[in-house]
Chain A
Amino acid sequence: MDALTAHLSEFGHGLVTTVELTVVTTVGAMLLGIVVATLRIAPVPLLRAIGTAYVEVFQNLPLLALLVLFVFALPTIGITFPLFTSAAIVIAVYEGAYLAEAIRAGINTVGVGQAEAARAIGLTFGQSLRHVILPQGLRAVIQPIGNICIALLMNTSLAAAVGVVELTQAANNVNLVEAQPIAVFTGAGLAYMLLALIIGQVTGLLERRLAIVR
């Protein structure tokens, strides 16, 4: 226990970094997910192909490999970002592929008639999507999106591998000093659980609040 209380500020900084990384990445991944899901249902074949290629590439590569590639390979061709930014970009791009598939599943639950009615009153493709299809499609997949956000939270720990001092790295650092792995990593684990529970609660709340009257 002393190992935890003696290093509260390290844990605190790590936790804040994890939360920041999770929030920034979730927002980025949601935006990317919506864009890519839209590409996958676009009426233009080329756009659909781009959307499919995006999903296939980023779902089929390990996140750690992408992180390492981005952080250590890009500088060799002269492109460098701060470590936090690099990790946020890579995780957002990676999780965006998973969110895109969940969102596409949601879009597919919206009946064809809804899109036809939207077009029939003169809405353009973009307007139909924004005002009719996405609001209903997203509501249908709030739960899976929440699950992906929890997975995203867990995946932020991989940022430790490329030098971001988030919660896992902070725990690791403390353990190097204290050599009490059980207390240190259990403490960090409980913090992750707490964050995951909060995401779960928010998901449930959103699902109830936004439920479509049927």
Chain B
Amino acid sequence: MVSVRGLHKWFGPLHVLKDIDLTVAAGEVVVVVGPSGSGKSTLCRCLNRLETAGQGSIEIDGEPLPAEGRALARLRADVGMVFQSFNLFGHKTVLDNITLGPTRVRRVARPEARQQAMALLERVGIADKANHHPAQLSGGQQQRAAIARALAMQPKVLLFDEPTSALDPEMVNEVLDVMVSLAAEGMTMIVVTHEMGFARRAADRVVFMDDGRIVESGAPDDFFAAPRTERARDFLSKILQH
């Protein structure tokens, strides 16, 4: 579904992604972990070209990522993205946030889009907030609305860029629960996160990044029980201590 080959990315002189190869099969859930500044978010953002790759190729569902214009917009419609800071449209109600993409990009009729949006809000458990504005919702509710907005486009793959990092601790689980159920339903997901519990529960594969490289990649049980590299052992010992 997603195929990355020889991906490099520079921010000025900073070499943030170094020769990344990553293949994600349809229905697979890949969790990307690693220390801050290791390039995991940048990798995630390159996959729908919010960041342009410096070198290398990215294919989504067999199609190379278009450089710009309408073709790129069409591709992005198929690649859902959930952001750390939610990024719901502040001037629109939750319902209008969700129907914007389907009505404007997919040309779905408004009543039908509303119906689908309500079903999605039901699914993420905030149907009663449909007519609220984002600022009236808690962080967890906003992130669930953002997930519903991404799902409304019926994406082939969903990218999560640290979806729970901006949340109060007690709201993390309500978002993770939604993500776990999506994973169980067979959604192809690439998740950048610090939630090792989620990785254990829902991931098919854990990818460990450090200093712009993929250092290790394997089944979550193997990775957490017996990391093969010193760098991964060091990382895990630091975050799993408490």
Consensus secondary structure, chain A interface: helix
- Mark A residues whose CB is within 8 Å of B: 43, 111, 113-114, 116-124, 127, 131-132, 135-136, 139, 212-214
CB pair A136 B88 closer than 8 Å: no
Distance (whole angstroms) from the CB of B101 to the closest CB of chain A: 4
Q: List 10 A-B contacts (CB under 8 A).
A: A43-B68, A119-B73, A120-B76, A122-B73, A122-B105, A123-B73, A124-B70, A212-B133, A212-B135, A214-B90
CB pair B89 A122 closer than 8 Å: no
Query: Which residue of chain A has the shortest Cβ distance to B77 in the bound complex?
Result: A122
**Chain B 84-107 near chain A by CB (<8 Å), digits 1 or 0:** 010111110000000011001100
Tally of B interface residues using CB under 8 Å: 32
CB pair B90 A121 closer than 8 Å: no
CB pair A113 B87 closer than 8 Å: yes
CB pair A135 B91 closer than 8 Å: yes
CB pair A120 B81 closer than 8 Å: yes
Q: Is B225 an interface residue (CB 8 A)?
A: no
> Residue B80 contacts which of A114, A120, A213 (CB distance < 8 angstroms)?
A120
Which among A120, A127, A131, A214 has the greatest number of chain B C-beta atoms within 10 A?
A120
Query: Which residue of chain A has the shortest Cβ distance to B159 in the bound complex?
Result: A120
> Residue A121 contacts which of B50, B68, B70, B100 (CB distance < 8 angstroms)?
B100
Residues of A within 8 A of B76 (CB): 119-122
**Chain B 144-181 near chain A by CB (<8 Å), digits 1 or 0:** 00100110010000000000000000000000000000
Residues of B within 8 A of A120 (CB): 48, 50, 76, 79-81, 83, 150
Q: Is B5 an interface residue (CB 8 A)?
A: no
Alpha-carbon separation in the docked complex, A121 to B75 (Å): 9
Q: Is B136 an interface residue (CB 8 A)?
A: yes
Q: Is B15 an interface residue (CB 8 A)?
A: no
Q: Is B74 an interface residue (CB 8 A)?
A: yes
Distance (whole angstroms) from the CB of A100 to the closest CB of chain B: 21
Residues of A within 8 A of B104 (CB): 123, 127, 131
Given contacts A116-B50, A139-B91, contact A213 B135 (CB under 8 A): yes
Alpha-carbon separation in the docked complex, A45 to B34 (Å): 37
Residues of A within 8 A of B88 (CB): 117
CB pair B135 A214 closer than 8 Å: yes
Residues of B within 8 A of A111 (CB): 87
CB pair A136 B87 closer than 8 Å: no
Distance (whole angstroms) from the CB of B98 to the closest CB of chain A: 10
